[in-house]
Structure 1
Amino acid sequence: MTLVILVADGARPDTLFGAIDAGELPALAGLRARGTALTLTSVFPSVTGSAYTPFLMGLHPGRAGLPGLRWYDRERRHTLWPAHARSYVGLGGMRADKDLTREHRTLFEHEPRAIGGFTYVGRGLSTRQRIGTGWAFGARMAWTHFRGDLDGWMRFDRWLGEEFVRRIVAQRPRVAFLAHPGIDKMSHRFGHGHPRVLEAMRTVDHTVRTLEAAFAREGRAGELEIWIVSDHGHAPVPQHEDLAGTIASWGHAVRAHPWVIGGDDVAVMVSGNAMAHLYLELGRRRRAVWPALRDRWQPFLERLLDLPAVDLALLPMGDARVRVHSRARGSADLFTAGDGTFSYRRDSGDPLGLGQDLLGLDETAAWERTRESEYPDAIVQACAIAAAPRAGDIILSAAPGWDFRSRYEPVLHTSGHGAMQRDHLLVPFISSRPMAGALRRTVDLFPTALTTLGLPVPRGLDGKSAR
């Protein structure tokens, strides 16, 4: 059999399912009618690249080694002097595979009969198994991105789907993965409900239709299983905070993309652009937890929380604990315990708006108790990113209607993602065959894929198989 995973990058559940209901996406409607359609929670940060690690490794981004679209390398071992900063925008995306943890294998390393297209996570794929690879291809994509060439992105998106089908027919892989970037590109510029977003969704529908027709011609229709999923949602961002510029105006020496040389106080690493890792005292080679930073940096934290753009500030506290602050809703502590349970204990308020303390929840209960909130799965997601060795000393999630980057974007962002908000974290999932078990998070897709392919599921993953 062949398992095909198509990432409709940036698709919201309501937008995608609404287009199917309206008869605009007949191939996807056929998949849904035969199989399963669900709304899942993605990961924090809810950004492209980092949010691919659930599909292809079964890990939260921090554990996988990709804590965001941009991050600062305290160890100074993985990035170049003198910047010591990583960005996966443009040519930097080619470094993602080297940054991944070696403690876990990718889907392509588990199943070598594979192909992959336009994926940040491709470790295990040879050049022959990749659609689009090498410096020349990366330079072309960087040129398209930094010029803000939306029509070029749409042409590229259509080519990706057609080349993907051609490769599957020619190479007959057991698993094939492709990310369609068009929905995300159009959503950033025009908003998730714009006709150009529907145009991009039709490209995904065209890929499915072409793929199914190719398998039917070869008499192999019964050998094909197709999954459609998104890595993050989208929400309007009419207001943009120049976070790096604001922090610099407070008298701090700042390091931020695209100008990452110099600045020894604070590294501002924005993703999505609705989240940011802030790294303090850049001369330190090891990450410090908040109690060791409080005396010097508490006034800085207070100023951050005063910004209208900041909704939540996560502070890693050590001992599997993270403190969550909101200026309007107070603070609370999140804990993980050795038995795998999670707790939320209110302190000066209820920043996640959950209405009560939640103690000793397993992963399923933590998801169930938060899924209808404004911050679905936030207890698990906050603990996961705070524990990541490459995460910031302060981790920010933007307020609704705001992001943290007002300069240097080649296309004006009227919509964005990355935060712990509901509209950013909820994603659609469609499979051409029914799922016997429960799917809740995108991290569940990787172990489910292994089970579907008849491969053993390794221990230590963040997700659980639904088959």
Structure 2
Amino acid sequence: MPLMLPSESAAARSIVGVADDLFAAVRGMGDTRIRSGVLIVVDGLGAIDLRAHAGHARFLTGRMTKRDTATSVFPSTTAAALTSILTGTWPGEHGLVGYRVLDRSRDRLVNQLSEWEAAGIDPRVWQASSTVFERAKDAGHPAYALGIAAYAHSGFTHATLRGAEFVAVASAAERVEAAYALAAEHEGAIVYCYLADVDKAGHKHGVDSSEWIAALEDVDAALSRPVPDGVGAIVTADHGMIDVPAHRQSVFDETSPGMSDVRHFGGEPRMVHLYLEDGVDHDRAAERWRSGTDGVADVATRAEAIAAGLFGPRVTDAAASRIGDVVLAARGNRALYDGTAADQRGRGMIGQHGSLTPEERQVPLIRLGALAR
């Protein structure tokens, strides 16, 4: 059964390498030359949800035309997408192919955002692609990354922000202000500013909640401050989000067809990596899961997903080893859960992402300051 992929415009811009495009403008390699550049990533802010709440984000939507969008990667999740933005490579190359993926050398699932140290993973080995900050540093340009203090020394930070000087700043407004100040002060700098509050509010309360709207308003206000003269800024996101009500959850337990084949149930609820027991035929297992998830998810073997280009045009051996033997991409506003897991707290999450819907994959790509159209 062929894997059905969403149709996308041939002219659609990808988030892959957005940071490199900004750095090229700093270096004068194109039609636009800027003194320094600021990349602002608003985690979880999809273009569709942004437009749907335009009244609460008048600054951003007032500067966003129909062309000012980009397409996220697959899976449309933070670990994969942020790494693609900052390295200029697809998940199949940088290797962060999901939220929780299998380290086959240790036969354990590893959370790609928070378990690097606990799993004994070396970020430079696990994620070997160079970052835009390393390329900037090699070319003699200052590089900075602004986030909250708790992220300063994490494994994920070392995997994606190496080469940049990390600057801890508490609030979104202060972070944007500090990013612009660094860009104004340091000629030729590339500055990365990460804003997480929209994503956090969406996961906990949903994208139509008052909490999500308040977070959006705070971000919009923070970004409305003037960009310093000669500085160019790009506002984008790693992915969007879709609300999953409790009655749209599919839970698989010991009685579910195909679960007896599964050794590890990884990924996340909207893009599951199934790692099978030794000796299980992948094609037959995929057929069982297709029967058991009819109308709920698109199902593919690892080989089918790679051949379809889901993880990008090139997939390294290391990345391939982390992709599930079978992958499940949730359709519509569905989510898929491992009912055998001891910890079921994740089932309380409302806003979710990871799959192939436009809500998850279409993100803003708004140019400000010296890059404004």
> What is the deviation of 1:98?
3.0
Q: 1: distance between equivalents of 2:114 and 2:302?
A: 30
2:239 aligns to what SS in structure 1? coil
* 8 Å CA contact 2:82, 2:238 repeated in 1: yes
Q: 1: distance between equivalents of 2:365 and 2:296?
A: 30
* 8 Å CA contact 2:256, 2:292 repeated in 1: no
Which amino acid in the other structure matches residue 265 of structure 2? V
> Size of the alignment, in residue pairs?
314
Match for residue 51 of structure 2 among 5, 10, 17: 17
1:108 aligns to what SS in structure 2? helix
* 8 Å CA contact 1:165, 1:207 repeated in 2: no
Q: 2: distance between equivalents of 1:251 and 1:30?
A: 49
> What is the deviation of 1:161?
4.0
Match for residue 360 of structure 2 among 424, 437, 444: 424
* 8 Å CA contact 2:41, 2:236 repeated in 1: yes
Q: 2: distance between equivalents of 1:299 and 1:410?
A: 26
1:242 aligns to what SS in structure 2? strand
1:98 matched to which residue of 2?
Answer: 124
Please state if 1:56 is matched with 2:86: yes
Q: 2: distance between equivalents of 1:381 and 1:403?
A: 19
Identity %: 20
Match for residue 72 of structure 1 among 102, 111, 121: 102
2:350 matched to which residue of 1?
Answer: 414
195-204 or 380-389: bigger deviation? 380-389
1:392 aligns to what SS in structure 2? coil
Unaligned runs of 5+ in 2: 1-34
1:427 aligns to what SS in structure 2? strand
Please state if 1:47 is matched with 2:77: yes
Please state if 1:234 is matched with 2:238: no
Match for residue 107 of structure 1 among 132, 138, 157: 132
* 8 Å CA contact 2:42, 2:195 repeated in 1: yes
Match for residue 198 of structure 2 among 169, 183, 194: 183
1:401 aligns to what SS in structure 2? coil
Q: TM-score, length-normalised on structure 2?
A: 0.71
Match for residue 266 of structure 1 among 249, 254, 263: 263
Alignment of 1:42-441 (within 5 A): 42-74=72-104, 76=105, 81=106, 84-92=108-116, 97-102=123-128, 104-112=129-137, 113-118=142-147, 120=156, 121-125=159-163, 129-132=165-168, 157-158=172-173, 160-161=175-176, 163-165=178-180, 167-168=182-183, 174-210=189-225, 212=227, 215=228, 221=229, 223-238=230-245, 239-243=248-252, 246=253, 266-271=263-268, 273-281=269-277, 293-294=281-282, 298=284, 301-303=287-289, 305-307=291-293, 310-317=296-303, 322=304, 335=307, 379-381=308-310, 384=313, 388-389=319-320, 390-405=322-337, 408-409=344-345, 412-432=348-368
* 8 Å CA contact 1:235, 1:415 repeated in 2: yes
Which amino acid in the other structure matches residue 210 of structure 2? P
Q: 2: distance between equivalents of 1:93 and 1:429?
A: 33
Q: 2: distance between equivalents of 1:385 and 1:268?
A: 25
Which amino acid in the other structure matches residue 381 of structure 1? L
After superposition, the Cα gap between the structure-2 partners of 1:56 and 1:416, relative to the gap in structure 1 and judged at 3 Å, is same
> What is the deviation of 1:101?
4.1
After superposition, the Cα gap between the structure-2 partners of 1:57 and 1:305, relative to the gap in structure 1 and judged at 3 Å, is farther
After superposition, give the CA deviation of every residue in 1:388-412 in whole Å (9 maximum; x if it has no partner): 4221111110122211237543682
Q: 2: distance between equivalents of 1:53 and 1:72?
A: 18
* 8 Å CA contact 2:239, 2:362 repeated in 1: yes
After superposition, the Cα gap between the structure-2 partners of 1:386 and 1:398, relative to the gap in structure 1 and judged at 3 Å, is farther
* 8 Å CA contact 2:145, 2:166 repeated in 1: yes
> What is the deviation of 1:31?
4.5
Root-mean-square deviation (CA, aligned residues, Å) is: 3.6
1:147 matched to which residue of 2?
Answer: none
> What is the deviation of 1:384?
4.7
* 8 Å CA contact 1:309, 1:398 repeated in 2: no
Which amino acid in the other structure matches residue 177 of structure 1? Y
2:82 aligns to what SS in structure 1? helix
1:5 matched to which residue of 2?
Answer: 39
Unaligned runs of 5+ in 1: 134-154, 216-220, 255-264, 285-291, 324-333, 336-378, 437-467
